[in-house]
Amino acid sequence: MKGELKHYSWLIVITVLVACVPLATSNDFHLRVLFLIGVNYIAASGLNVLVNYTGQKSLGHAGLFAVGAYAVALLTARWGWNPWAAFAMAGVLAGLFGVVIALPALRVKGPALAMVTIGFGIVVEKIVSEWQDVFAGQQGIYGVIPLGIGGQMFGTRHWVWFVLALCVLLHVMFRYLLDGRFGRAFLAVNTAEVAAESVGVSVYRFKVLAFVISAFTCGIAGALIAQQNQYINSDFINFNLSIFFLLIVLFGGNSVYGPLLGAVVLTLLDSLLSRWPDVQHFTYGALLLFALYAMPNGLAGFVRRLARRFAPGLMPQEVLPQDLPPWQPRSLAGQASPAGGEALLDGRGLYKAYGGVVPTNEVDIRIRPGHVHSLIGPNGAGKTTLLNILSGIVVPERGTIRFDGRDIVGVSTNRIARMGLGRTFQNLRLFSDMSVLDNVKVGLHAHIDAGFFSSLLGVGKARRAELAARDEALQILDRLHLRDKAQEIAGNLPYGLQRRLELARALATHPRLLLLDEPAAGLNPQETQELIQVIARIRDIGITVLLIEHHMDLVMAVSDHVIVLDYGQKIAEGTPAEVQNNPRVIAAYLGSEDEEDDGVNDGGDGDDQQHQGAAGGQHV
């Protein structure tokens, strides 16, 4: 609460100071620079969501700027629309074009994505240059009707005040959005897409949403330029504009304040160097390199480090509530358990091949509710592939899977997670730059009742949902004895605690069935014993567990039922005692001393790499 008050106090002070500038000077150049800072901030504020939060690089947003500018020009100058209605429609049309770009563009990644967006920008530039009858090329469209109030058109001062009001509004809205459910989801998509899907975040939808947000703000920025100038032509739309917007975002840094810092610094620099275009372009390149290598977190990250070191009072930590009641999973409340003998998960004839390698070969698996099932086998047996199939990451070539009575073959990973199937990963997939508390909140994503528009406003229902999510995340951390680490950065935790945090995040999805892929990998003996107790507590609160593990002491201590795979086939299953004495298991997995000398842990296929040989613990 204190942090909120400080933020809004500073915001009011800065807003009042900027609003006083037009009263203190009538210099049109200075007011124009102030106006451009605001316009560039508006364009960059949405692009920040796409680039810094979601991790999608775009070099075609000049095209979306053009959509907004030409939309408002055509609607007012040629078709007689009210300028306010045209201004709003410009943002909507740009948002729709954002969807048009996103749907094909997001099927590719990395440099290919940047190339697709460059292509869009070039196409738009060519259209407005060459289609003279509509867009008038370099001659441009005159008579664009500016905004006004009471029949009085905005003057230079009014434009500064109007853009200032828009900037404040967008800043507050983006701050609420990015500090909440949607901001965490954007960052999760950026950090680890598979992990985001596994906790119920639709990666594709959030990428499209980020494109739409960035397109909308770029369209609004284009409309402002066209209406303030009362004129637009093709010279406004070029590749350098896309580079400039991207540079503002990268130089500003990954923060809600980043676009503001970038817009202020680079707009002022652009104005100073406008007489020397060659020096201007060289400076942009130098600043981009500086931002990427010397300040990887941008100017906002640099300022944040300075504040933490020299003025920690400016960034107080949130005061967390104490004495919360014990956590209970919602997935088990009010839901009927499968009838006696019926499986919670039933997989039949599951088959998946990668060329000549068949990690899953006609496997049947039945998971009974309320039990701990263990899936064991030597490296390369196909255990992780089977877990990936059950959780929707890999689609089997044939076979059926019914979870809680519903067919889930071909269903997206995020939808399966929302049904109540949670998981951890063999190789840690934490959101390492987020706090421990926020990692668990991402796990709660599907259970936070806050829509997009209510999250933008940050009050009422969205605010209550955020506070409830914070309290529940703390309850889960308390269950796993991580409460004291809640405000630390996840990537800074010791490895054993990171393993436990991933388990906490999986529990936050409220699973009915929890898949654990080698949760003891890399743990020391004490941490392994603690994990045994944690799994037992998870079972005791009613969550069914399917566990992959090489530590046989752990398997035999917690398992009600053991399934054994070898070369992608199920060779045995039963109680731990039955599996212990099964000759096929002894030969294929546990082995004799001669077999161990030959090395049972001989690498395995790609999905079972980095298994730890359970030296000293592999004998039963």
Q: Is the pLDDT of residue 232 over 90?
A: yes
Q: Is the pLDDT of residue 14 over 90?
A: yes
- Domain with 370, as residue range(s), is 343-420+511-620
Helix locations, 199-336, DSSP H: 203-229, 239-252, 258-272, 277-289, 298-310
DSSP sequence for 312-353: GGGSPPPPPP--PPPP--GGGTT-PPPPTT--SEEEEEEEEE
pLDDT in tens, 552-572: 889 999 999 999 998 899 999
* 589 vs 351: which has the higher pLDDT: 351
Q: Give domain status of residue 282, yes or no.
A: yes
- Name the pairing type of β-strands 406-407 and 398-403: antiparallel
Clarify whether residues 415 and 558 are in a common domain. yes
Clarify whether residues 394 and 280 are in a common domain. no
Q: Give domain status of residue 226, yes or no.
A: yes
Which range has the worst mean pLDDT, 144-148, 285-289, 541-545? 285-289
Q: Are 209 and 11 in contact (CB under 8 A)?
A: no
Residue 548's contacts (CB-CB under 8 Å, 6 or more residues apart) are: 374, 375, 376, 383, 384, 387, 426, 516, 517, 518
Q: What's the pLDDT score for residue 1? A: 57
- The helix/strand/coil state of 380 is coil
pLDDT in tens, 238-265: 888 998 999 899 889 889 999 999 999 9
341 band by pLDDT with thresholds 50, 70 and 90? low
∠537-539-541 over CA atoms, to 5°?
A: 70
Clarify whether residues 209 and 125 are in a common domain. yes
Into how many domains does the chain fold? 3
Q: What's the pLDDT score for residue 469? A: 95
Q: What is the CATH number of the domain that holds 611?
A: 3.40.50.300
Clarify whether residues 216 and 74 are in a common domain. yes
Q: Is the pLDDT of residue 309 over 90?
A: no
Clarify whether residues 590 and 570 are in a common domain. yes
Residue showing tokens 């019914």: 402
Q: What's the pLDDT score for residue 615? A: 33
Q: What's the pLDDT score for residue 595? A: 42
Clarify whether residues 530 and 487 are in a common domain. no
Tell me what the pLDDT averaged over the chain comes to: 87
- The helix/strand/coil state of 27 is coil
- The helix/strand/coil state of 398 is strand
Q: What's the pLDDT score for residue 102? A: 87
* 430 vs 459: which has the higher pLDDT: 430
Tokens, residue 361: 């070969």
Q: What's the pLDDT score for residue 306? A: 82
Clarify whether residues 227 and 156 are in a common domain. yes
Which range has the worst mean pLDDT, 145-149, 283-287, 391-395? 283-287
Q: Is the pLDDT of residue 367 over 80?
A: yes
Q: What's the pLDDT score for residue 58? A: 87
Clarify whether residues 450 and 585 are in a common domain. no
Q: Alpha-carbon distance 393 to 515, whole Å?
A: 13
Q: Give domain status of residue 16, yes or no.
A: no
Q: What's the pLDDT score for residue 277? A: 74
Clarify whether residues 409 and 485 are in a common domain. no
Whole-number Cα distances in Å, 48 to 250, 296, 313, 370, 464 = 8, 15, 27, 45, 26
Q: What is the CATH number of the domain that holds 268?
A: 1.10.3470
Centroid of chain to Cα 106: 14
Q: Are 248 and 263 in contact (CB under 8 A)?
A: yes
pLDDT in tens, 128-140: 988 988 888 888 8
**C-alpha closest to that of 159 among 94, 227, 242, 212:** 227
Q: Is the pLDDT of residue 617 over 50?
A: no
* 307 vs 515: which has the higher pLDDT: 515
Burial 468-490 (b: 16+ CB within 10 A, else e): ebbebbbbbbbbbebbebbeeeb
Clarify whether residues 215 and 176 are in a common domain. yes
Domain end point (choices 445, 477, 500): 500
Q: What's the pLDDT score for residue 226? A: 96
Q: Give domain status of residue 374, yes or no.
A: yes
Clarify whether residues 200 and 105 are in a common domain. yes
What is the share, in percent, of the chain residues with pLDDT greater than 70? 92
Tokens, residue 491: 């990537």
Clarify whether residues 477 and 581 are in a common domain. no
Q: Give domain status of residue 23, yes or no.
A: no
- Name the pairing type of β-strands 513-517 and 544-548: parallel
What is the share, in percent, of the chain residues with pLDDT greater than 90? 60
Q: Give domain status of residue 9, yes or no.
A: no
* 341 vs 84: which has the higher pLDDT: 84
Handedness of CA 548, 550, 554, 560 (dihedral sign): positive
Q: What's the pLDDT score for residue 612? A: 34
Q: Is the pLDDT of residue 106 over 90?
A: no
pLDDT in tens, 455-506: 998 888 889 999 999 999 999 999 999 999 999 999 999 999 999 999 999 9
Q: Alpha-carbon distance 163 to 169, whole Å?
A: 10
Domain end point (choices 500, 524, 540): 500
Q: Give domain status of residue 336, yes or no.
A: no
Mean pLDDT confidence for 21-29: 91
Q: Give domain status of residue 173, yes or no.
A: yes
Domain end point (choices 444, 479, 500): 500
